[in-house]
Structure 1
């Protein structure tokens, strides 16, 4: 298996005097009077497909299977409220001041306790607190990547990560997945091919647990194989793990970081296991990398929000947070089961989907000839929303796929959403059977040179 080559010809792609690929020419609108003043890196900034859906998907009449918004209805808000009141009354002078660029010691100690649940042994000195794990990824990319460097990502991959890599003018090379996640042999071949072509590969970005968007999880054996390839290739691994404690079956799988402390940079977050509004994430990195992360953090924000750090540290110290995570797991399991039941009852023939064992997402494969991107306006008209698969690829593929989120709607709404979606898909399939594809042979965007993540055939 191999990764498709990165583009070297085509509109907007030019070559330098030495034959190297230069950055695409700018194509901004002249209606913007500042177009000639922007930095080259802004060329890669585009709106997230998920954010673009929010204004429509959040309307009450629409069943949104789109955004991965955690459901905090089962969070004990009375406990959180009293904790915050006590924090202001007793430690307000500290909690509302500037703080350390690395993060406050008490939250870094608590983070180490949280990571121990997945086998990670860490020292608080090697943890850098960030404004959510999204900023963690931004800082890691900032300190490692130059324009034109290559980042390896699963196919598909998290849309927010693709936006970060694009903003820093990196090229993304997708690597195939199967039912156990990233394919180690495909990874080996991708690194070999890219380096043979003279490309600089900076790191592998992977989501091993309950993948966003694919919903699959790397087995322990698969994680070991990926690390073996990384060692052979002298490749840094960036492990993004926001969902690792939200599994529905048994104990958490040991994190990749627990298997290798020197080659893995670990990203974590409290957004899924507590609440996203506090915006507290972290990076666990080798000591030398941590020094660079702190400098990057200080240049970006001076320090991460101190009040949020105190608030979460107080919550962890005074509440049964492990028990609360179990409550979240059961709640999300019920929602997953509702979505899967609705898909089984309402999807047309030829539809398939992954069956996640945790996390927030199902990755669905449409019947041949259907295009999730083109179909989205008709789905919204039918009062159901999803995210087209094209949002999760950097190379234009994915139109035959869609991400369905079960984390926020009630089970009843999820079943209703699948009913509405099934009607839209059946109508599209009937139109295709009657009139044929819009383009002879179908759209090239629906084809992709990747293996599909494991799927349950409807």
Structure 2
């Protein structure tokens, strides 16, 4: 009979750490969810696009030139003198009552009947989306998004390790048929969708708007599938041709969580947004808000509430609408005059963005360095997909530059595109696959023919 070996007295060796060359010595310590965090293509452009010699058609920065700073300044002065000790103190995790009441009045312009108790104030609507995703999504959960979708939302979903499935669009936005097909595929795969994220009005980046009939169709599908909708509505009051369409939330108060913001209709620097949610969800939102920031910025809330109380904010929105309409018209005229044959684009009825399709063989991502060298910037379409599609599209923003700068920017862009098209014709460069091809699982929104 053999005796069992004696246990070794040697101490356990420490784990071997990687010794390869690297810039981040903390890489072994990060949580797994950080692997999904990537730099925004738009943020990465800012350093270059903000140079005065570059015409930036890239970022969606609101133009607050027409904001009456004398009125805002007087309001802030009175706020500090009269209510400074309260406005500069900690506040409620849900947000200040007087602002939540004013938010309900603002939402009433789009047909939403809401109670202030169901509103949670956030640090911009971006934080609202982050909190909602934190509440509902575990790693691996499926989130449906339009194809393309807002780059900031895709970043949130990646950070929470969600699986994003894109759903096709057409000239009226999200396609009901594509939504049905996506839900059926996921059902067959045994996967449950946590929610659908959508921007129904003046979509970012595609610039399209869901008709009222389309909104009702999407809600009918959601009721059949018991599907939660996250409605992001930063641009809804900035339509050029008609009064605001009914929001999804105004048509269904149980299946829709609504995200709003003052960044586009007042000023982005105050960083005030909100979430309107069913009461049970609101309670958890407040808890999540308190763990994230303790309370949203109180001074900003008082400042926005004072602006809404003391100023003709409805009239100011009309001023913004006319200003953005003029810039939209300049963009469409510039595209028609300067872009080569084969380019396509839509004519947005509001908001900030135009979605441009390129001729076969051209790649917006590969072309971007040459465009920046020509002193014009845009965002390649690939930034708005999670799966690499969109290389034959670009998003152009008309909200910030003057009409004259927009025309100059489209002229520069046209020169770059003409050079790229000539190179492709001469050398037969193999371009990216057509994002509207039948082999793809979804359709990109098809812009109007130029």
TM-score relative to the length of structure 1: 0.92
Q: Distance in 2 between matches of 1:29 and 1:357?
A: 51
User: What's the counterpart of residue 159 of structure 2?
Assistant: 167
What pairs with 1:35-434 in structure 2 (closer than 5 Å)?
35-434=27-426
Alpha carbons of 1:343 and 1:445: their partners in 2 closer, same or farther (altered >3 Å)? closer
Q: Which has the larger radius of gyration?
A: 2
In structure 2, list runs of 5 or more residues that go unmatched: 1-19
Q: Deviations over 1:56-85 (max 9, x none)?
A: 000000000000000000000010001000
**Matched residues, number:** 429
Q: Which runs of 5+ in 1 are unaligned?
A: 1-27
1:435 and 2:427 are equivalent in the alignment: yes
Cα distance in 2, alignment partners of residues 31 and 275 from structure 1:
38
Contact 2:141 2:162 in 1 (8 A): yes
Query: Structure 1 CA distance, aligned partners of 2:182 and 2:22?
Result: 39
Supply the distance in 2 between the matched residues of 1:449 and 1:168 (Cα, whole angstroms). 24
> How many angstroms apart in 2 are the aligned matches of 1:449 and 1:148?
20
Asked if the contact 1:372–1:402 (Cα under 8 Å) also holds between the matched residues in 2, the reply is: yes
CA deviation map 1:376-431 (0-9, x unaligned): 00000000000000000011100000000000000000000000000000000000
Partners of 1:179 and 1:400 in 2: CA distance: 17
2:13 equivalent in structure 1? none
Aligned mates of 2:339, 2:130 — CA distance in 1: 38
Matched residue, 1:17: none
- Work out the CA distance in 2 between the residues paired with 1:122 and 1:417: 43
Please, which moves more after superposition, 191-200 or 221-230?
191-200
Closer, same or farther: CA 444–343 of 1 in aligned 2, 3 Å: closer
Cα drift, residue 185 of structure 1: 1.2
Partners of 2:283 and 2:371 lie apart in 1 by 48
Does structure 2 conserve the Cα–Cα contact (< 8 Å) formed by 1:29 and 1:35? no
Contact 1:180–1:454 under 8 Å retained in 2: no
Counterparts of 1:280 and 1:322, CA distance in 2: 18
Q: How far apart are 1:32 and its partner, in Å? A: 1.2
Question: Retained in 2: the 8 A contact 1:209–1:217?
Answer: yes
Superposed CA offset, 1:207-231 (max 9, x none): 0000000000000000000000000
SS of aligned partner of 1:118: coil
SS at match of 1:336: helix
SS in structure 2 of the partner of residue 239 of structure 1? strand
Where 1:202 maps in the other structure, the secondary structure is strand
Question: How big is each residue's C-alpha offset from its partner over 1:316-368, in whole Å with a ceiling of 9 and x where there is no partner?
Answer: 00000000000000000000000000000000000000110000000000001
Q: Secondary structure at the match of 1:209?
A: coil
1-side partners of 2:361 and 2:446: how far apart? Answer: 20
Aligned CA RMSD, in angstroms, stands at 1.3
Tell me, yes or no, if the aligned pair for 1:64 and 1:386 is still in contact at 8 Å.
Answer: yes
Residue of structure 1 equivalent to 2:442: 450
